[in-house]
């Protein structure tokens, strides 16, 4: 997988001034769009579109320092207007193109190369578990993907759940996963999505039908799951483990992601210290 990712970086670099299509990206990486998007985001810390955008602006910076006209640079790197280029360039660099030309200010994002860097010999504790078909009953909203810190949109979703809804969820819950689940699905459907988003649901697992109009249902088919145990400060320990799952475990395992929701279970504490969590990742064996 890392070989394909590096091939993609080479392709982007060679075609940085051209339109880069989803179809070509898919052909190079040779994996599902779902797995690619998740792995790239965790490996790179940004979406693919952000990487392409910042590489173009980085090269545009060099062209401006070398004396190229703003108009020529803007169109060279796929911007349809000078105003659009100017706004994007200032948002990224903190300077107007004219200031860069005058003062020779330089900012750069180097071309990415991917490799596995396993540090400290820390193990990932996990088990492979088979689960039958079940439903998750709860409430959801569209939220931004966030790699570090507390996601305030998810906090707001949790706070919006009424006591009645909580009681209804617990009435339906009848599986061993008898704790609230934080479920993530419907990640960006486009390789080149400008900003990463996903749908987040908070709910309970059940085999029962949902008869409550104020709750949503999400069907989860029978599948294999990699279940990772996490203990540490919340949410940092979970986020660090998530990053390691996609950057270390998955590329070197005999499994690949499938396009199903992943979810987590967390035993929250008031001080968020020494918190136990589980991360459930839907997988299948590589043929």
As to burial, measured by CB atoms within 10 angstroms (0-12 exposed, 13-18 middle, 19+ buried), residue 253 is: middle
Specify whether the CB–CB gap between 35 and 78 falls below 8 A. Answer: no
Specify whether the CB–CB gap between 230 and 278 falls below 8 A. Answer: yes
pLDDT, residue 128, reads: 94
Domains, the chain: 2-103 (1.10.10.60), 126-285 (3.20.80.10)
**Which value, in Å, is the radius of gyration of the alpha carbons in the chain?**
22
Query: In sequence order, what are the residues at sequence separation of 6 or more whose Cβ sits closer than 8 angstroms to the Cβ of residue 182?
Result: 154, 200, 201, 202, 263, 264, 265, 266
Reading phi first (left if > 0) and then psi (alpha if -120 to 50, else beta), residue 113 is in beta
User: Which positions of the chain have pLDDT values less than 70?
Assistant: 1, 31-35, 37-38, 115-122, 188-196
Query: In sequence order, what are the residues at sequence separation of 6 or more whose Cβ sits closer than 8 angstroms to the Cβ of residue 259?
Result: 32, 34
pLDDT, residue 182, reads: 96
pLDDT, residue 188, reads: 64
pLDDT in tens, 178-208: 899 999 888 764 444 445 688 999 999 999 9
pLDDT, residue 189, reads: 45
Specify whether the CB–CB gap between 172 and 205 falls below 8 A. Answer: no
| Closest residue by Cα to residue 199 from 157, 149, 247, 257 | 157
Structure tokens given for 6: 């590096």
pLDDT in tens, 72-117: 999 999 999 999 999 999 999 999 999 999 888 888 888 888 765 5
**Nearest 10 degrees: Cα torsion 131, 137, 139, 145:** 10
Where helices occur in the chain by DSSP H, the ranges are: 2-14, 22-29, 33-44, 48-65, 70-76, 82-93, 97-103, 152-160, 163-172, 236-244, 250-252
């Amino acid at each position: 997988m890392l070989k394909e990712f590096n091939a993609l970086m080479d392709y982007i670099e060679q075609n940085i001034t051209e339109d880069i299509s989803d179809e070509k990206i898919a052909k190079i990486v040779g994996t599902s769009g779902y797995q690619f998007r998740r792995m790239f985001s965790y490996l790179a810390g940004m979406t693919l579109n952000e990487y392409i955008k910042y590489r173009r602006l980085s090269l545009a910076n060099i062209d401006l320092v070398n004396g190229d006209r703003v108009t020529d640079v803007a169109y060279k790197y796929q911007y349809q207007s000078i105003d659009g280029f100017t706004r994007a360039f200032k948002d990224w660099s903190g300077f107007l193109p004219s200031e860069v030309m005058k003062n020779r200010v330089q900012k750069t994002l180097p071309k990415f190369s991917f490799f596995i860097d396993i540090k400290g010999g820390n193990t990932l504790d996990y088990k492979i578990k088979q689960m039958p078909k079940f439903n998750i009953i709860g409430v959801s909203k569209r939220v931004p993907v966030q790699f570090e810190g507390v996601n305030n949109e998810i906090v707001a979703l949790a706070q919006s759940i009424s006591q009645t809804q909580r009681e209804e969820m617990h009435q339906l819950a009848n599986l061993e996963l008898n704790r609230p689940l934080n479920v993530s699905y419907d990640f960006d459907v486009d390789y080149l999505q400008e900003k990463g988003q996903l749908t987040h649901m908070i709910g309970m697992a059940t085999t029962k039908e949902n008869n409550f109009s104020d709750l949503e249902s999400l069907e989860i088919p029978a599948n294999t799951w990699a279940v990772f145990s996490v203990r540490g400060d919340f949410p940092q320990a979970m986020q660090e483990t998530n990053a390691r799952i996609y950057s270390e475990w998955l590329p070197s395992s005999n499994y690949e992601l499938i396009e199903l929701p992943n979810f987590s279970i967390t035993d929250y504490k008031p001080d968020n210290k020494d918190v136990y969590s589980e991360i459930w990742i839907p997988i299948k064996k590589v043929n």
